[in-house]
Amino acid sequence: VPVFKPRKCSVCKDRFTPTKPLQKVCGWSCACQVAAKQRVKEITERTKADRRETRAKLEKLKTKSTWLKEAQKEFNAYIRARDAARPCISCRRFHQGEWHAGHYLSTGARPELRFDEDNVHKQCAPCNTHLHGNLVHYREGLIERRGAVVVDRLEGAHEPLHLGIEDLKAIKATYKAKTKELLK
């Protein structure tokens, strides 16, 4: 019968004399703990893999309009973070309510300026929603903040913008990262 040198149990840290080669635990109870930990690890990994799979399946089902909405949401969040210290672009007031990211030239009228950082600013909900952008004052605020050259560029002609799903994914990721960077 081979004799093994005493060693420390990997679970309870007590010293014990192994009866088998490569024996790491002192007995049955510590062996059960190792097995239970292993089981938890396996289940956790399985759950993570399932979640990844579900996410991948859902991503595949997303339509272009879903990607557009998600990209716009990230872009708008970035605009609000960028302008956090500034008042509403059009009424120039700070207020307690909700802040929006308001387009100067609307996404309906000028879809090619949808993701143009010069065209979108933090705006109060009353101006954005109730006053439909409060555009006369928006324009004044824009000239004040960015200059007439920028306003001329926005109001000028633009190449049509054709964004595919991959472009929208990239925009979403870019603005998510930019917001994170700003909030650091």
| Interface characters, 53-92, with Zn ion (x: CB under 5 A) | -----------------------------------x-xx-
142 is a contact residue toward Zn ion (CB under 5 A): no
- Choose which of 127, 142, 154, 171 interacts with Zn ion (CB under 5 A): 127
> What is the sign of the dihedral through the CA atoms of 20, 23, 25 and 28?
negative
Of 49 and 94, nearer to Zn ion (C-beta) is 94
Closest distance to Zn ion from the beta carbon of 167 (Å): 31
- Beta bridge partner(s), residue 122: 101
31 interacts with Zn ion by CB under 5 A: no
Measured from the CB atom, is 14 or 155 closer to Zn ion?
A: 14
Report how far residue 127's alpha carbon sits from residue 99's, in angstroms, rounded to the nearest whole number. 10
Tell me which residue of 13, 38, 37 sits closest to 25, measured CA to CA: 13
CB burial readout 117-136, b (16+ within 10 A) else e: eebbbbbbebbbeebebbbe
CB of 146 to Zn ion, least distance (A): 17
Looking at 43-51, 68-76, 125-133, 165-173, which segment touches Zn ion (CB under 5 A)? 125-133
Least spacing, CB of residue 183 vs Zn ion, in Å: 23
What minimum distance in Å lies between the beta carbon of 87 and Zn ion? 8
Q: How far is the CB of 5 from Zn ion (least distance, A)?
A: 16
Interface size with Zn ion, residues (CB under 5 A):
10
Position 151 contacts Zn ion (CB under 5 A) = no
Which residues sit at the interface with Zn ion, rule CB under 5 A? 9, 11-12, 26, 30, 88, 90-91, 124, 127
